[in-house]
Amino acid sequence: MSIMKQQQIPFTMGYGVGHRTYHTAVVRGPITQNIIPKTPVMLDEALRAFDDLIGSPVEETPIALYSAIAMTVARVANRVYVGTELCRNEEFLRNATDYAEAVVISAEVLRNFPEWMKGFLVRLLPVTSYRRQGRRFLAPLIQDRLDGKLDANGEKHKDLIQWLIDAAPPVEKTIPQLAERVMALNVASIHTTTMTFTAALYHLAAEPTKYTLTLREEVMANLEQGEITATTLSKLPKMESFLRESGRFDSSGLMSMQRNARKEFKFSDGTVLPPGSKIGSPSLFLHRDPEVFEDPEVFDGLRFYQPYSEPGTKPKTMLNTDVNFHLFGHGRHPCPGRFLAVHEIKLMFAILLLRYDIRLKPGTKPQPFYIGTMSLPDTKLEVLFKARK
Ligand code: HEM
C-alpha cells in the first residue's frame, strides 16, 4: 500500500508500525466502540481547551484558527488515547503535533535515497528525536500497564495504551514499540482532523449570517438537559450536510488513495497496470463533477440536507464514502478513524456554535495552499471570535 512508501513509515514512524499494522484493528475495534462512552470526557476536554485557547472575549478578538483547533484536537484525542495527565501536557502535545509534520518532511527527504541508507539517515532527522521525546513522556504510563496496574476502580484502563497492549503481538509489547504506536496514531489523527474542521469553520466565518443561526438552532433543539450528548450529535442533519459539503468542496487534492502496483494488475474493464505503476483517485475532479453536483464550484452548506423525519430518506453524511466523495478514501480500505474524527468535529462544532459568534476579519479570506498533489487549508489566518451573552 502506497501510504507506507509515501510516508516512508518503517523509517519515519518505526519498523513495527510499517510492518505489523495491528493498530488498524484497534482503531476499527475498541477506539470506535468507545466513542459513545467517551463522549462526556471528550466534551469536558474540548470545553477546557476552548476556555484556555479562546476564552470568553467580550469584544471581537482575532484567534489563529488552525493552531487553536490543532491543539484542541490533540487534547481531545489524547484524552481518549492516554488520559488526563498527558493530554494537558503542552510539551507532549506540541511534540506530537510537530512529529506529524516532521514525518511528512522526513519522508520527502528519505524518498530520494536508496533503501540501505534510509535506516542510518533517519537517525539524523528531527523525526527521530520527536519519537524519542514521545517515548520519554509515555514510558511511565506504558510501564504501569505492562506491570498490570489497574485504574482507580480496580478495573482495566479503557484507553489506547491498554487497547494496544491487549491487541499487540508479543514482539510489540515493549515500551518503545507501544510508544511508537501511540505516536503514529497521533500522526494519523491530529492534522487530518484539524485540516478538515478548520476548512469547514472558514465557510461558517465567511458567511456567518447565512449559516450560524440555522446550525446553532439545530444544536439547541437537540440538547439534553442543556448539555451536548452523543444523542445530540446524532440528530444534526444540517450540520452533517454542512460538513459533507466542506469535505466535498475543500478536500480537493489532485490525487488521493494513492497506490503502487507491486505486480501487474488487471481491472475488470481490461485496463492493465504494469508493475511499479502508481495510481490515485483525482478527488478534485470527482468532488467537483458537474454531472453529479449542481453548481459544483459553489459552497452550499445545505446541499446534502434532508430532514431525518422524511420517510425513506437516509441522508449521506461525511462518513459515507462514495465514488464522488473521497475525503476518507473509498472501497476496501477507507479511513478506519473516520468515526472518531467526525464525532470530534461535530462535538467541537456544536460547542463553538453555542459559545461564540465567528466571522472573518473584513478584507481577509483563507488562502489554501498546495504541496505536490495535496491541497491544504490556510494555517495562519486569524478569525474573529466573540463570546455570546
Ligand atoms: C478528518 C480526519 C481524517 C481524514 C480526512 C482521514 C483520511 C484518511 C485517508 C484518506 C486514508 C487513506 C485511505 C486510502 O488510501 O484508501 C486514511 C487512512 C487511515 N486513517 Fe485516517 N483520516 C482522518 C482521521 C483519522 C483518525 C482520527 C485516525 C485514528 C484514530 C485515523 C487512522 C487511519 C489509519 C490507521 C489509516 C490506514 C488504514 C489502512 O491502512 O487500512 N484517521 N485516513
Nine-digit cell string for 228: 451536548
Looking up cell 483563507 gives 366
Per the listing, cell 511499479 goes with 276
Identify which of 19, 79, 192, 257 to mutate to test ligand 1's pocket (most ligand atoms within 8 A of the CB).
Answer: 192
Burial, 197: exposed, middle or buried (Cβ in 10 Å; 0-12, 13-18, 19+)?
Answer: buried
Q: Please, are residues 211 and 203 in contact by the beta-carbon 8 Å criterion?
A: yes
- The pLDDT assigned to 6 comes to 67
Residue 4 pLDDT: 65
Ligand 1 midpoint to CA 198 (Å): 17
87 is in an annotated binding site: no
Question: Given ligand 1 and candidates 35, 243, 335, 342, which is best to mutate, with the most ligand atoms within 8 Å of its CB?
Answer: 335
What pLDDT does 144 receive? 95
Q: What pLDDT, on a 0 to 100 scale, did the predictor assign at position 1?
A: 45
Buried b (16+ CB within 10 A) or exposed e, 93-102: bebbbebbeb
Find, among 96, 80, 70, the residue nearest to 45 by Cα. Answer: 80
Q: For residue 108, which of 380, 381, 351, 374 has the smallest C-alpha distance?
A: 374
SS3 label, residue 330: coil
**Tens digit of each residue's pLDDT, the chain (389 residues):** 456 666 788 888 888 888 899 999 999 999 999 999 999 999 999 999 999 999 999 999 999 999 999 999 999 999 999 999 999 999 999 999 999 888 888 888 888 888 899 989 989 999 999 999 999 999 999 999 999 999 989 999 999 999 999 999 999 999 999 999 999 999 999 999 999 999 999 999 999 999 999 999 999 999 999 999 999 999 999 999 999 999 999 987 778 888 888 899 998 899 999 998 888 889 999 999 999 999 999 999 999 998 877 777 778 899 999 999 999 999 988 999 999 999 999 999 999 999 999 999 999 999 988 877 778 899 999 999 999 98
Q: For residues 97 and 125, what is the distance between their CA atoms, to the nearest angstrom?
A: 16
Q: What is the DSSP string of 4-65?
A: HHHTTHHHHT-HHHHH--HHHHHIIIIIHHTTTTTHHHHHHHHHHHHHHHT---SS-EEEEH
| Dist. CA 345 → ligand 1 center (Å) | 15
| Main-chain dihedrals φ then ψ at residue 245, nearest 5 degrees | -65, -40
Amino acid at 11: F
| Ligand 1 centroid from CA 335, angstroms | 4
Instruction: Show contacts of 289-297: CB within 8 Å, 24+ apart.
Output: 289/324, 292/324, 293/248, 293/324
Asked whether 241 and 301 are in contact (CB, 8 A), the reply is yes
Rounded-to-integer distance, Cα 41 and Cα 247, Å: 26
Q: Which residues line ligand 1 (CB under 6 A)?
A: 1, 3, 23-24, 27, 31, 185, 188-189, 192-193, 196, 256-257, 327-329, 333-338, 340-341
- Per the CB < 8 A criterion, the answer to whether 42 and 144 are in contact is no
All structural domains of the chain: 2-387 (1.10.630.10)
Let me know: does 13 contact 7? Beta carbons within 8 Å: yes
Are 2 and 260 in contact, with CB atoms under 8 Å apart? yes
